[in-house]
Structure 1
């Protein structure tokens, strides 16, 4: 009998893989979605800034944005790849992101080979889906952070269980995790809660001293300190100019109350899911299911905290909750089946469990989400229509965008390879300084009455426009600014008060309107 078992194992594996084909369909669906247009608007805007950095425009001196530099630095390889190869920037970015997801999946499987047939089937089907399930939000910092955290969570389970791990593997996982968590300060809630679980587990086992000597948390802290030093010395304008601007004008912009944010469709669903799964993992034992479910629950809680702190309730803020929660459910279910059922039964159930988990996660994120609907309607939607117009009127030309929103200018201009001339991604600063009407009851403040921030924006837009007159101009009808003096806020009227802007504006004529945006093209 002992000699016959190894002979039948390859056949079992082959049957499992064939039976798993339906379980791969959700991941294949999301793979098709993430490589289809449109690219997420925030991802597209960051990529555009990275292209301009690669072309020589300095960040925080010529390019002004509220985000710390790391996300722009991570986008530079895509910009360079687009310069050196026939690929455009969007294709380059998607290729690198998918390569990153493959690396993450490989690291997870190396760190923890599945314990039984059900877990093996679940990991093969669910792990790719989890990495792609962000859909339209693929490439957002939340998706990158959650993907970067997965090998760290698998390593955390090994650390709790006292398993030895090679130094190169530990260093690689720590570096990837440190980069992911450093993308936003709020993300540090995830490793804080995960390390708390690791310490509590060490206390239960009487290994607290060894836990404090663990290289992983110290490595994370050292890398974050190095990144902070890079910002201070490599990008001094960020703390000197951008952070005060963000603190004074951006943090409170459109700020909703806690309950307004909590009761949005995305955050309420994510909060309910997090509460239920945290309660579930607190009740189950670790002997059967291991520590990974509890670690994933801690990561979910950290991801939810990061979403709540941002006070927006946007769909991509809860992407880590779906990713961590989906994997938690799959891992817990499959490990329970492997532990509690005979191997032959687990082998038969494995494909059905993996398929069911994948379909359930797919339906959860598709309901009320933006994918696949934006992809299905791309050509008839705002981005597709604008991209078609730009391709006709200003292919690969310069473009001025005056809009409080990034969408749909981004990603339309990315697909047409337009070069934005404005140093800002949007006019959010104008929106902030005009949240209330001027004290004298006028529609606009005169230059002498402007704050330093408004005057900077006013002068910068005029200078950028005149220095590199674009082939086309997009202006939003709705500036997202309240009426004052019985008038709406008209951005053309506002900026043409500046002599430099007005002189350049004389060379433009109306060319149409689409989705609330006035389009202008240069006459000569």
Structure 2
């Protein structure tokens, strides 16, 4: 008797309907999952942006903008070295705070994330019509949103705002260099946004100078000069310059000479020494390595334009000779995008089409994870995780407990951690400058035989202005408290330290009002004096 062949038995219907374990649907599902995972690093950095603390320089500008919207005169009651455009732009969240339930910090976060989204949208639109390879497309879809927010703690800094709109400007310049048609409204919007971003600091103009020079080389002088977009950008800058003596005469007549005499010499590093700092040095090395990739013939004009943004951003950081972290932000953004773009194009050129298609989502994920690991250092996410234990967190808690919502005279050389502690406590500084930088500039040395504090008749005009206005403002409308740094930021001369209270108490109006501040709250590096009515 023959045994039936098991292979000849009928297959049950439920087994016939089951998908094959290696069906074509599985690679598609895997690719979608990897693309979604590739966006998670950018989302993680967005969460860092939303978590406290706010960047200290951003917080100081926001505090000044809020005071300006509240009625104080910019560059008369509020004296700062920054050109007026950043205050004009930051007045937007200050106005949102005034007319909505949002507080200033929430309003600012809303505005800066809107700028990030706008930059991302610009880049997406400008990529339309390009012959992108499958790896190139996958990498850019994940890399561009990450580059936009990866600076985390420095998001919203002037350098970050410049970098945000320098990226789409570089893509638009590449389209112009290739004579690609771009929707008129999109081209104008990108140009206007970039013009405003480059106008935030005069150093930033190095970026459009290099980009437009490359466009001119690729298109030729006749075609490049007929292009209306660079002229639109130049027109915006000229209008801005023309507006300064009309709307902000005190900036040109008073603040600029003050900056030259008292600010530029504070905290500077030699132009060659700054190249060896732990911020600019590694960023310059990474930029040089990325620029070497442009030697490959397939790099493309888009990468070349990003190279111009990187070099221009380096020049901007270098001439400021400070070596601070946020100075390298646009340089790092351009470097990361340029390197990732060229590498993706190389993979597309050197892998068979089928293998490139299969590898693209995984390669995109690998690129953004690697870049995220590089940037998870120093500032974020450690600032956010340990915020309550850091100086700004402890100071914020003390100010919220003692002087929340009140006016506060701040006698300190610091921006950090005074800001953002004032912002979170909704306390408003009464000092006309963000810190005591004018006094730091006035007392840089220790001349032999000279008294520790100058007499009013011996003071320069800027020092006397600070001396008089602090005392008179203090007496006219006594604030709820006085926050004094234990370290004045001014060099000790012999046995005598510089004591801001002793300095201003020589003014009779200050001395009389100071008698009412008797309660002292001691902190690590500050003393908070409270008024006893």
TM range (shorter): over 0.9
Match of 1:3 in 2: none
Structural mapping, 1:23-102, within 5 Å: 23-102=38-117
1:449 maps onto 2:458 in alignment: yes
Partner-residue secondary structure (3-state), 2:389: coil
Match of 1:384 in 2: 393
Q: For residues 64-123 of structure 1, what are the alpha-carbon distances to aligned partners after superposition, in whole Å with 9 as ceiling and x for unaligned? A: 100000000111110111112111111111111111111111111111136132122212
Q: For residues 260-288 of structure 1, what are the alpha-carbon distances to aligned partners after superposition, in whole Å with 9 as ceiling and x for unaligned? A: 2111111110111122222321x111xx3
Query: Contact 1:16–1:347 (CA<8 Å) still a contact in 2?
Result: no
Query: Contact 1:438–1:445 (CA<8 Å) still a contact in 2?
Result: no
Of residues 238, 244, 249, the one that matches 1:231 is 244
1:214 maps onto 2:227 in alignment: yes
Partner-residue secondary structure (3-state), 1:289: coil
Structure number with bigger Rg: 2
Structure 1 distance, partners of 2:28, 2:143, is 17
TM-score (norm 2): 0.92
Match of 1:5 in 2: none
Q: For residues 246-273 of structure 1, what are the alpha-carbon distances to aligned partners after superposition, in whole Å with 9 as ceiling and x for unaligned? A: 0111111122212321111111101111
Structure 1 pair 444/164, CA: closer, same or farther in 2 (3 Å)?
same
Give the CA deviation at 1:516.
0.9
Structure 2 distance, partners of 1:11, 1:68, is 56
Of residues 349, 352, 365, the one that matches 2:375 is 365
Match of 2:160 in 1: 143
Match of 2:254 in 1: 241
Match of 1:433 in 2: 442
Structure 2 distance, partners of 1:354, 1:321, is 22
Structure 2 distance, partners of 1:523, 1:54, is 30
Query: Contact 1:510–1:518 (CA<8 Å) still a contact in 2?
Result: no
Structure 1 pair 189/10, CA: closer, same or farther in 2 (3 Å)?
farther
Of residues 280, 288, 306, the one that matches 1:296 is 306
Q: For residues 9-58 of structure 1, what are the alpha-carbon distances to aligned partners after superposition, in whole Å with 9 as ceiling and x for unaligned? A: 99987653322233222212211111110000100010011111111112
Of residues 183, 198, 211, the one that matches 1:194 is 211
Structural mapping, 1:258-277, within 5 Å: 258-277=271-290
Partner-residue secondary structure (3-state), 1:128: helix
Query: Contact 2:168–2:190 (CA<8 Å) still a contact in 1?
Result: yes
Match of 1:4 in 2: none
Give the CA deviation at 1:291.
0.7
1:348 maps onto 2:365 in alignment: no
Bigger shift: residues 478-487 or 387-396: 478-487
Give the CA deviation at 1:360.
2.2
Partner-residue secondary structure (3-state), 1:519: strand
Query: Contact 2:519–2:532 (CA<8 Å) still a contact in 1?
Result: no
Gaps in structure 2 of 5+ consecutive residues: 1-22
Q: For residues 214-269 of structure 1, what are the alpha-carbon distances to aligned partners after superposition, in whole Å with 9 as ceiling and x for unaligned? A: 11211111110011111121101111000000011111112221232111111110
Gaps in structure 1 of 5+ consecutive residues: 1-7
Structural mapping, 1:117-516, within 5 Å: 117-202=134-219, 207-281=220-294, 283-285=295-297, 288-367=298-377, 369-438=378-447, 440-516=449-525
Partner-residue secondary structure (3-state), 1:67: coil
Give the CA deviation at 1:439.
5.6
Q: For residues 152-171 of structure 1, what are the alpha-carbon distances to aligned partners after superposition, in whole Å with 9 as ceiling and x for unaligned? A: 11101101111011221111
Structure 1 distance, partners of 2:353, 2:408, is 62
Query: Contact 2:306–2:335 (CA<8 Å) still a contact in 1?
Result: yes
Query: Contact 2:293–2:342 (CA<8 Å) still a contact in 1?
Result: no
Partner-residue secondary structure (3-state), 2:453: coil
Structure 2 distance, partners of 1:343, 1:509, is 77
Query: Contact 2:293–2:299 (CA<8 Å) still a contact in 1?
Result: no
Structure 1 pair 423/9, CA: closer, same or farther in 2 (3 Å)?
farther
| RMSD (Å), alpha carbons | 1.8
- Count of residue pairs the alignment pairs up: 509
Match of 2:19 in 1: none
Structure 2 distance, partners of 1:13, 1:470, is 64
Give the CA deviation at 1:365.
2.4
Match of 1:103 in 2: 118
Structure 2 distance, partners of 1:361, 1:340, is 23
Query: Contact 1:387–1:413 (CA<8 Å) still a contact in 2?
Result: yes
TM-score (norm 1): 0.94
Partner-residue secondary structure (3-state), 1:361: helix
